[in-house]
Amino acid sequence: MRITKHEHACLRLELEDRQLIIDPGGFTLPLEDLHGLVAVVITHEHADHWTPQQLAHIRAQVPDVPMYGTAGVAAAGADVTVVSPGDTVTAGPFTLTFHGGTHNVIHESIPVVQNVGVLVNDTFYYPGDSYSLPGDAPIAMLAAPVGAPWLKIGEAMDFVLAARPHRAFATHDMTLSRIGLDMHRARLAWAAEQGGGEFVTLDPGDAVEV
């Protein structure tokens, strides 16, 4: 399975000439080359993870592609099939299981929204805006949030330490300066290495195989 990192929190997974898109939000450039797209996953309702414009752009290319998101995403106006923690969905060669349930707290004045992490083919895991894990099963590749209003780097390090992935890369990064991104990546790399894992540095457009 090939994983391409796009800007901020958007990811493209490719397997057997099929594609899966996760979290095409407002900080991400419009996605092209969507041949073989079988599903779109939106982890939660915040605009850095989806916008009506991004979904319209995708549907203009693949009109009938299934889209999956939380009830909050649907209530915000997205045409999605609602998924919840514990649900499993099959889309082409991808088996998706959903985990977690809530977004990390930003501040007590800001409502906590629904959030689902997604485990793909029991090998790749992306938690959305949370530190939820998909049980105790080994994670071959982890996409770990590295910068956000809700994120403290020490907690992000603890998340990677708990996950003990074979490999990991940083995502959710457009709120960071270049210096901050490099510094936070180094912290996550240290955390991955403590469990015998490897950290992979991916910039937008870079890809890794898992």
Residues 6+ apart with CB under 8 A from 64: none
Give the residues across from 55 on adjacent strands.
none
Give mean pLDDT, residues 98-125: 98
At residue 24, the pLDDT reads 98
CATH code, residues 2-107+114-202: 3.60.15.10
Is residue 140 scored above 90 in pLDDT? yes
Query: What pLDDT does 137 receive?
Result: 86
Residue extents of the structural domains in the chain = 2-107+114-202
Q: What is the tens place of the pLDDT at every residue in 41-97?
A: 999 999 999 999 999 999 999 999 999 999 999 999 999 999 999 999 999 999 999
- pLDDT confidence of 150, banded at 50, 70, 90? very high
Q: Which residues touch 136 (CB under 8 Å, ≥6 apart)?
A: none
- pLDDT over 70 percentage in the chain: 100
The residue-averaged pLDDT of 3-32 equals 98
48 near 174, Cβ under 8 Å? yes
Count other C-beta atoms under 10 Å from residue 15's C-beta. Answer: 18
